[in-house]
A and B are shown apart, each in its own frame.
Chain A
């Protein structure tokens, strides 16, 4: 499944001349734009509406070539190296302020939707996020070389110390993993632990870390008591599906996939027990994000945005979160009514069965009994529809609400980076003033120290400025990636839903067709 052998060589900058106009041409229908590049990229990419790397023209050709040659090498460290980021900074200074979104989109690495484990192949160069162009190239194949699945929930142990272990299976052709297919068992706190580790590392860089499903004391207590009753079964299934989506989103993220903790989570036989996961209860998670927001609000120096992109986006994110919450509530109500319908239908079916049994007229009795059976089958359909509504829409909306929360966290991280930079500048200023004072007061012995301080803080200021720029860039990238994922995700879930509904409907038609002759046979 290694794509490298199939890969077409990336287009040389000279031949790639689409210019910024291309995305305009694409006109919302990315297939149009793709056709032009069909010779350069994997046909699979065409249907995915992936952006084309026209930034390549700005990249130094040797870097490009260098990246290509080393594309098959595994790089274990997922963190950007500074050199490459400097290159990015230059490259990214160019997007015109009035069209930030469309030009940024071209830099966007994309990957397939997290909801369905896809079997697309991802070029090995995806392992080198240091080259943005390279990323685009390989994402242009829109291949995805890691499949994860979370299955087989099993209760381990007894009583209040019992827990549920899930089978985590990975299929991959990426060389960075030890083998092509492997499984391991993990419990919920392991997933939380992974999230915690990633948050600490990656959010500093502005990545959106997909949040895992929330803790539920009520849910788990029921499971500990016994896994057989319907509400426990539903709880475990819901959690299993959420954990699967969580992992799929993580491995779909090119940066996170590089993280050794992720690899360890997927591969390692025995994982040390994660501690400190108390902070990550449902409420705790939100608290964490809000704490970050509060810290930002308490900032005395107001940030002066060089372009309004971040402010606008933040506002959009907040609005969107509100809308999704509303949608979620409405879908929840729909799901509950469907469940109610299941119950009503079952009860009605029973009452018709009783009626059929008591009926003297044979043909009528038979028809009534058949009716009861039809209603039983319809109850089954209603169950499936409720599950569809729930798992396809409600859970997806819940995921995105959490993701938007994580995104807000990223924006906050950027603000904090800015704050650090500003504070460092303030400190530098003070050091300079101190030096001036010393010069004036003519204290040469302390001067040396002062000069050393200044040097130190100058380099810090530079570092923090660089960090701030880098995080800003990452946040931009992440936001655009998120929007792309969201549009794709949404669409593919809707199609899934429609397919399920159509199937249900066709089964319903068969039930009615079978019943009609029975009804006619009565007289």
Chain B
């Protein structure tokens, strides 16, 4: 049983950039993830196992770093939705690409999540990160106190504040741009998922055709019957290899571009949330200023205090936000580039292999009597 985690910062004792989620184990309905981190000093490793609840624990701790100035300006690395064994249709839809491929893409997404946190200048100093990655005991499951990032309240106020005009052109542009990109990225990810799901259906149909052809083989010595049967067998083999090929194509799609679009989509959402927090703070500031102006002499001093505090908070948030945005823009381009290059290279390899297969089959058929 863990002691209450104090919000004390520390230096992370592992290499943040190569944290690995190496395996996922099914234990009844729960999924357990094995996480390996390299020690900073020496050659040791930490091996820990964590469930989704542990990830949420980590995230909650990161959200509740109240004493960190400008923490609201941080773009928090997005945690994927909860994965479940025998997930409902709704959950599957929500997870999108991450629900495919026997949880391999999901593990990759968790890995990226941890890496982003562990290499973040502010977030990595949170002790919860150290505990999460190194402690052999699972982190405590106590409910962390309610934090400022309660999404429900955001949703309610969102309608009013989201469109609030900005005082800073840089941020106004960023907000507008983000709005557009978030929508398009989400759409693109959903449509790519449709492509992959249809490819899987084609693979299944190829398998059925292959199986049905094997049933057409006829016994008998008649040369024409033998010729026909042989053709059926060879065609069955061809469609079996076509099934493998399109399964590969679909897998490549999921593991590279699919994952990339999913990540980009969730990251854009994370930026959106950060910008919204800042906008809320802006609204709060403008309100405080108005209150200070209109306050009766009795309340005036108190209102001025509030105004000054809010101004400072806002300034910190803007400062952090600018840094985060710049870092974010660089990171996302790099991530997308990697995804696109890997996608292209894998599909190229698969296509070449497939062409070879077709060629071989063609030679076989041409050589048949």
| A residues apposed to B, CB below 8 Å | 23, 26-31, 49, 101-102, 105, 316, 320, 323-324, 326-327, 330-331, 333-334, 337-338, 340-341, 344-345, 347-348, 351-352, 354-355, 358-361, 364, 367, 371, 480, 483-484, 486-488, 490-491, 494-495, 498-499, 501-502, 505-506, 508-509, 512-513, 515-516, 519-520, 522-523
Cross-interface CB contact of B228 among A26, A483, A501, cutoff 8 Å: A483
B355 touching A364 by the CB < 8 A rule?
Answer: no
B358 within 8 A of partner (CB):
yes
B201 within 8 A of partner (CB):
yes
Within the complex, the shortest CB–CB distance from B221 to chain A, in Å, comes to 7
B195 within 8 A of partner (CB):
yes
Within the complex, the shortest CB–CB distance from A365 to chain B, in Å, comes to 10
B199 within 8 A of partner (CB):
yes
Residues on B with C-beta less than 8 A from A509 are 348, 351-352, 355
Residues on A with C-beta less than 8 A from B199 are 341
Residues on A with C-beta less than 8 A from B220 are 101
| B residues apposed to A, CB below 8 Å | 177, 180-181, 184-185, 187-188, 191-192, 194-195, 198-199, 201-202, 205-206, 208-209, 212-213, 215-216, 218, 220-228, 230-232, 234-235, 238, 329, 333-334, 336-337, 340-341, 343-345, 347-348, 351-352, 354-355, 358-359, 361-362, 365-366, 368-369
A523 touching B334 by the CB < 8 A rule?
Answer: yes
The CA of A340 and the CA of B224, in the complex, are separated in Å by: 37
Cross-interface CB contact of B337 among A27, A360, A494, A522, cutoff 8 Å: A522
Instruction: Give A360's nearest chain B residue, CB to CB.
Output: B177
Within the complex, the shortest CB–CB distance from B211 to chain A, in Å, comes to 9
Cross-interface CB contact of B216 among A23, A327, A519, cutoff 8 Å: A327
Residues on A with C-beta less than 8 A from B222 are 101-102, 105, 483
Within the complex, the shortest CB–CB distance from A357 to chain B, in Å, comes to 9
Within the complex, the shortest CB–CB distance from A161 to chain B, in Å, comes to 41
A330 touching B209 by the CB < 8 A rule?
Answer: yes
B202 touching A334 by the CB < 8 A rule?
Answer: yes
Residues on B with C-beta less than 8 A from A359 are 181
Give the interface SS of chain A, mostly helix, strand, loop or mixed: helix
Residues on B with C-beta less than 8 A from A486 are 224, 228
The CA of A320 and the CA of B209, in the complex, are separated in Å by: 16
Cross-interface CB contact of A516 among B213, B225, B235, B341, cutoff 8 Å: B341
Q: Beyond A326-B212, A501-B358, is A508–B351 a contact (Cβ under 8 Å)?
A: yes
The CA of A324 and the CA of B232, in the complex, are separated in Å by: 12
B337 touching A358 by the CB < 8 A rule?
Answer: no
- Max chain A C-beta neighbours (<10 A), residue from B358, B361, B362: B358
Instruction: Give A331's nearest chain B residue, CB to CB.
Output: B209
Q: Beyond A355-B188, A498-B365, A522-B333, is A105–B224 a contact (Cβ under 8 Å)?
A: yes
A523 touching B228 by the CB < 8 A rule?
Answer: no
Within the complex, the shortest CB–CB distance from B269 to chain A, in Å, comes to 15
Within the complex, the shortest CB–CB distance from A321 to chain B, in Å, comes to 12
B198 touching A334 by the CB < 8 A rule?
Answer: no
Residues on B with C-beta less than 8 A from A340 are 198, 201
Residues on B with C-beta less than 8 A from A354 are 184, 187-188
Residues on A with C-beta less than 8 A from B213 are 327
Residues on A with C-beta less than 8 A from B177 are 358, 360
The CA of A486 and the CA of B295, in the complex, are separated in Å by: 96
The CA of A360 and the CA of B178, in the complex, are separated in Å by: 11
- Max chain A C-beta neighbours (<10 A), residue from B188, B202, B220, B234: B188
A516 touching B344 by the CB < 8 A rule?
Answer: yes
Within the complex, the shortest CB–CB distance from A494 to chain B, in Å, comes to 6
A-B interface, 10 closest residue pairs, ranked by CB to CB distance from nearest: A522-B337, A519-B340, A334-B205, A487-B227, A512-B348, A348-B191, A351-B188, A483-B224, A487-B228, A505-B355
Instruction: Give B210's nearest chain A residue, CB to CB.
Output: A330
Residues on A with C-beta less than 8 A from B194 are 344, 347-348
A344 touching B195 by the CB < 8 A rule?
Answer: yes
The CA of A331 and the CA of B186, in the complex, are separated in Å by: 34
B223 touching A498 by the CB < 8 A rule?
Answer: no
A512 touching B201 by the CB < 8 A rule?
Answer: no
Q: Beyond A340-B201, A480-B224, is A28–B369 a contact (Cβ under 8 Å)?
A: yes
